[in-house]
Amino acid sequence: MSQMPPELQERIIAIQTKHKVSQEEVMSELQKLYMGKFIQNDETLPTAEAKLAFSVRVLESKFDRYVKFDPYNVITTGIGKCIKLKNGSQRQDVFVAVQEDNNLVNRSITFKGSNLEHLKNVQTLYGFNNVKLGKFPSGEFQGDERTLFENPQNIAMSPVQLLDQLKVKRCTIAQTIHNLAKVDKTSSGEYVRRTDWRVIKGMISNHYKGISKKGQELANYTITDGSLDDDFTSPEGVTIKKQFTVWCNPLLVTWEKNNEIDLCGPISIYDNNVQMEAYLVLPVHTPFGAIGGE
């Protein structure tokens, strides 16, 4: 790569200028591509010059697809489950608190495909500085191979204080039908706003981990909180079950039955039943300990 032709050098400079990225970042990406096994082992690229020219073309395509990334200081607030998409790839969200206009707000970061590898060791309720993120017009974020959560730092507030700063309201199971998450309408459909959270405190009556027929990991808690004596059905036909189901990432199903926990996430209606998706689970009273513990 040290003998780069002038024409390729000009194209590298064009990438830097167009996407406002440093020479160091562009050359680092080029080095990874050029030295990667796919390009090095491709017999249709017989010479070093052909491999280099093709690497530059791939680099141009990659940067054209990229959302502009900037560094942000974040606090990780939660993690979603891994979802299989119709095209066979996977998607997963991490949730973070960020400062916007002097307010702390909750945002999602969406990762897809091979970039989910970056989430394996992400811990919630820690601070991370200079995390590179691409910001969508909606305010939510995209993550990819540039997004690294390194050097976690303890935060100077409790989880409850953090939720208070994020203005996350509490409700009971009986109140869930009046605390539904906002729904965003897009050209491809309507979607529950994943960052519109509530907190419900409940006693664990059951927990579950399994695999669906389509190979999707499933996990949930069933909780009660004493706010309903029986299942309730509204005049519109929407049911709130006394034994309330809260779906989540299997990693969050750690607490044994009869413990009391806070579950944090959006509330929605599915199949005429009110349900919740929890992205953060906090212990309240946990004398029965973890699942499988003594």
Which H or E run includes 63?
Answer: helix 48-65
Who wins on pLDDT, 279 or 13? 279
- The sign of the torsion formed by the CA atoms of 225, 255, 110, 135 equals positive
Distance CA 213, CA 229 (A): 34
Domain ranges of the chain: 6-65, 69-164, 168-285
Phi, psi angle pair for 109, to nearest 5°: -120, 120
For 199-240, the pLDDT digits (tens) are: 999 999 999 999 988 888 899 999 999 999 999 999 999 999
Q: What percent of the chain shows pLDDT beyond 90?
A: 63
- Say yes or no to pLDDT of 126 above 60: yes
What mean pLDDT is reported for the chain? 91
- Say yes or no to pLDDT of 181 above 90: yes
- Say yes or no to pLDDT of 176 above 80: yes
- The number of helix segments (H) and strand segments (E) in the chain equals 5, 18
Who wins on pLDDT, 133 or 16? 133
- Say yes or no to pLDDT of 294 above 70: no
DSSP secondary structure of 18-59: HHT--HHHHHHHHHHHHHSHHHHT-TT--SHHHHHHHHHHHH
- Say yes or no to pLDDT of 19 above 80: no
- Say yes or no to pLDDT of 252 above 60: yes
Specify the fold of 69-164. OB fold (Dihydrolipoamide Acetyltransferase, E2P) (2.40.50)
Q: What percent of the chain shows pLDDT beyond 70?
A: 98
Who wins on pLDDT, 238 or 186? 238
Note the pLDDT of residue 21: 78
- The residues facing 91 across adjacent strands are 83, 112
Who wins on pLDDT, 141 or 145? 141
CATH architecture, domain 168-285? Beta Barrel (2.40)
What's the rounded mean pLDDT across residues 253-259? 97
Domains 69-164 and 168-285 alike in fold: yes
- Joined tokens for residue 83: 């979802």
Q: What angle do CA 288, 292, 294 make, to 5 degrees?
A: 55
- Say yes or no to pLDDT of 16 above 90: no
For 56-113, the pLDDT digits (tens) are: 999 888 877 766 788 999 999 999 998 888 777 889 999 999 999 999 999 999 998 8
Note the pLDDT of residue 9: 87
User: CA-based diameter of the chain, in Å?
Assistant: 77
Note the pLDDT of residue 138: 84
Who wins on pLDDT, 122 or 173? 173
Lowest mean pLDDT: which of 22-31, 127-136, 196-205?
Answer: 22-31
What's the rounded mean pLDDT across residues 161-178? 97
